[in-house]
Amino acid sequence: MNLLEVNNLVVEFPHRRGTLRALDDISFAIAPGEILGVVGESGAGKSLTGASIIGLLEPPGRVASGQILLHGERIDNLPYEEMRKIRGRKIGAIFQDPLTSLNPLYSVGRQLIETITTHLPVNHMEARQRAIQLLRDTGIPAAEQRIDHYPHQFSGGMRQRVVIALALAAEPQLIVADEPTTALDVSIQAQIITLLKTICKDRGAAVMLITHDMGVIAETCDRVAVMYAGRIAEVGPVHEVINHPAHPYTAGLMACIPDMSVDRERLHQIDGAMPRLNAIPTGCAYNPRCDRVFDRCHRDRPDLLGAGATRAACWLHAQEAVVTPEVKA
Average pLDDT over residues 40-63: 92
As a whole number of angstroms, the distance between CA 251 and CA 221 comes to 18
- Return the pLDDT at 327: 47
Q: Which of 150, 154, 151 is nearest to 140 (CA)?
A: 154
User: What is the b/e burial string over 285-322, where b = at least 16 CB atoms within 10 angstroms of the residue's CB?
Assistant: bbbebbebbbebbeeebbebbebeebbbbbbbbeeeee
Mean pLDDT on 182-193? 79
Can you give the pLDDT at residue 290?
94
pLDDT of residue 185: 79
Question: What is residue 41's three-state secondary structure?
Answer: coil
pLDDT of residue 215: 82
Q: Which pLDDT tens digit goes with each residue over 66-99?
A: 999 999 999 999 998 999 889 988 999 998 877 7
Residues 6 or more apart in contact with residue 240 via CB below 8 angstroms = 308, 309, 310
- Per-residue confidence (pLDDT) for residue 216, from 0 to 100: 86
Amino acid at 266: R
Q: Is the pLDDT of residue 325 over 70?
A: no
Q: Where are the domains of the chain?
A: 99-171
Asked if pLDDT for residue 184 goes beyond 80, the answer is no
Q: Is the pLDDT of residue 270 over 50?
A: yes
User: Is this model's pTM higher than 0.85 or not?
Assistant: yes
* Banded model confidence at residue 329, pLDDT cuts 50, 70, 90: very low
Q: Is the pLDDT of residue 265 over 80?
A: no
* pLDDT tops 60 at residue 27: yes
Say if residue 328's pLDDT is above 80: no
Mean pLDDT of the chain: 90
**Phi, psi angle pair for 33, to nearest 5°:** 80, 5
Say yes or no to pLDDT of 9 above 60: yes
pLDDT of residue 315: 96
Q: Which residue has the higher pLDDT, 214 or 141?
A: 141
- Cα 326 versus chain centre, distance: 34
Q: What percent of the chain has pLDDT over 90?
A: 66
The predicted structure's pLDDT at residue 104 = 93
- Give the type of residue at 242: I
At residue 176's C-alpha, the angle toward residues 70 and 73, to 5°, is: 5
What are the DSSP E strand ranges found in the chain? 4-15, 18-30, 35-39, 62-70, 73-74, 91-94, 174-178, 206-211, 223-228, 231-237, 305-307, 310-312
If pLDDT is split at 50, 70 and 90, which confidence band does 326 have? low
Q: Which pLDDT score, from 0 to 100, does residue 320 have? A: 47
Kindly report, residue by residue over 284-321, the tens digit of the pLDDT: 999 999 999 999 999 999 999 999 999 999 999 986 44
C-alpha distances out from residue 257 to 213, 237, 260, 269, 312, Å: 10, 19, 9, 9, 21
pLDDT at position 300 is 95
